[in-house]
Structure 1
Amino acid sequence: MSTPTLIGVPALSGRYTARLIQFGEAPEVLVPLLRRIWTDTFGRDTDAMAAALLARNWRSLAVNPRHRRWDRQPLVPGLGYPAGNDTMRQGSLREDLDGFLEWMYLLHPDQGRLVVYEATVHGRWLRHSVHHLDPVEDLFVTAPALNEGGSEMTVCTVCGAVDEIDHVEVPSMAGYGYDTATSCTRCGSSVATDPMFGARLVRKPWPPHDPTTGDATGSTG
């Protein structure tokens, strides 16, 4: 099924320059793929990756594309399957959408970040998540504001949630210092600290596993 998606870079005043991916994917699929392309194809050179993605429109992205009999355009090794339409799209995050697009991924080469936007049912772009191309070991990281003069963001490195963090701090039962618990309200990943045992980090699976019922044979009774 087609998932029309934009891939590009931000411009000034909330604008962007992007190319179309005819068969895009949701973040849980496309973000890991873009990270692999960034590492395997471009050796972590974000500027080179952005330039290559903006060089043409795409049918789909792939690290190891293989020729198919219906492909009319030469494959691009390490990137994917190009499309024939060569129109560059320039738009605004405040634009009205026509219902055709579903996702937009904007690379920030100077920050090594990927910001994902989702098209809402009201035909507007809504920031969905922020992802570091090189995920750090810390569960939560502070990222610069997207807009000049804005406040910094706290980003969950598991699911990419922005400012969806719950923090609790209470006097420690150890009798000194404080116990803290910081958790992501989207995926449930958390880090807890206390003065006696230090930090305990829990990374929850993302995307979450589908619930299952019954045993391995399919029986529920």
Structure 2
Amino acid sequence: MSTPTLIGVAAFRGRYTARLIQFGEDPQVLVPLLRRIWTDTFSRDTGAMAAALLAHDWWSLAVNPKPRRWDQQRPVPGLGHPADNDTIRRGALREDVGGALEWLYLLHLDQRRLVVYEATVHGRWLRHSAHHLDPADELFITEPADDGGGPEMTVCTVCGAVDEIDHVEVPSMAGYGYDTATSCTRCGSSVATDPMFGDHVTRKPWPPHNPTTGDATGSAR
């Protein structure tokens, strides 16, 4: 069963340019695939990757697409199977979704970041998640539970705290979307987001610097 998905590039004030992937995937599948395409096919050149994605609509994306007898176009090496139709889409996050779409993936070129939106039952785009194309840039990551049977854990990549996360979300002053702040309650590292300027990551020193003089409180004797 197909999962109609848009993939494209974010622009100013919530606008975007995108192409259709007829057989898209949810973020658990497509985010790792896009990271691999970014690394293996485009050598981490986000602009080149965006231009290639916007050159076609797509049946599906793949790192090593194989020719198929029913395809009318040859596969694009390192990227996927282009579709026959050729319609570039321009829209805004505040507009109705329109059509049978499930996901929207937008590249933020200057930040090497991918933001994922999910279509709601009310036909609106709702921010689902944000991902750096280089996983090393992520402040918080999700990992399987230690026992393999419990819920996934959210881990701070600065201090290693597990599920010690505080999250606040409020309607954005930009007039659309939400401003968010997610922080580690152990080390104080945080990531703040807004729909206009994207992410701002603050990594606190860890372990904390010990006082160099005086007692444990840092007071000189």
Deviations 1:6-55 (A, max 9, x none): 00001222111000000000001000000000000000000000000000
Helix, strand or coil for the counterpart of 1:123? coil
Matched, 1:63 2:63: yes
Q: In 2, distance between residues paired with 1:132 and 1:97?
A: 25
Partner in structure 2 of residue 9 of structure 1: 9
Deviations 1:177-211 (A, max 9, x none): xxx5889xxxxxxxxx7769xxxxxxxxxxxxxxx
Helix, strand or coil for the counterpart of 2:87? coil
1:167-186 → structure 2 map (5 Å cutoff):
167=185
Residue 72 of structure 1 and its aligned partner are, at CA, apart by 1.2
Give the TM-score normalised by the residue count of structure 2: 0.66
| CA shift in 2, pair 1:41/1:136, >3 Å | same
Deviations 1:140-198 (A, max 9, x none): 48xxxxx9979xx99xxxxxxx6454625xxxxxxxxxxx5889xxxxxxxxx7769xx
Q: In 1, distance between residues paired with 2:82 and 2:68?
A: 12
Partner in structure 1 of residue 198 of structure 2: none
Residue 98 of structure 1 and its aligned partner are, at CA, apart by 3.3
Residue 99 of structure 1 and its aligned partner are, at CA, apart by 5.0
Detail structure 1 runs of 4+ shifted over 4 Å in the superposition: 147-150, 180-183, 193-196
Partner in structure 2 of residue 136 of structure 1: 136
* CA RMSD, 1 decimal: 3.1
Q: In 1, distance between residues paired with 2:59 and 2:23?
A: 6
Deviations 1:54-108 (A, max 9, x none): 0010000000000111111111000000000101001110111235000000011
Partner in structure 2 of residue 91 of structure 1: 91
Helix, strand or coil for the counterpart of 1:136? helix
Q: In 1, distance between residues paired with 2:137 and 2:13?
A: 32
Partner in structure 2 of residue 125 of structure 1: 125
Gaps of 5+ in 1: 142-146, 155-161, 169-179, 184-192, 197-221
| CA shift in 2, pair 1:53/1:194, >3 Å | closer
Question: % of aligned pairs identical?
Answer: 70
Q: In 1, distance between residues paired with 2:207 and 2:42?
A: 42
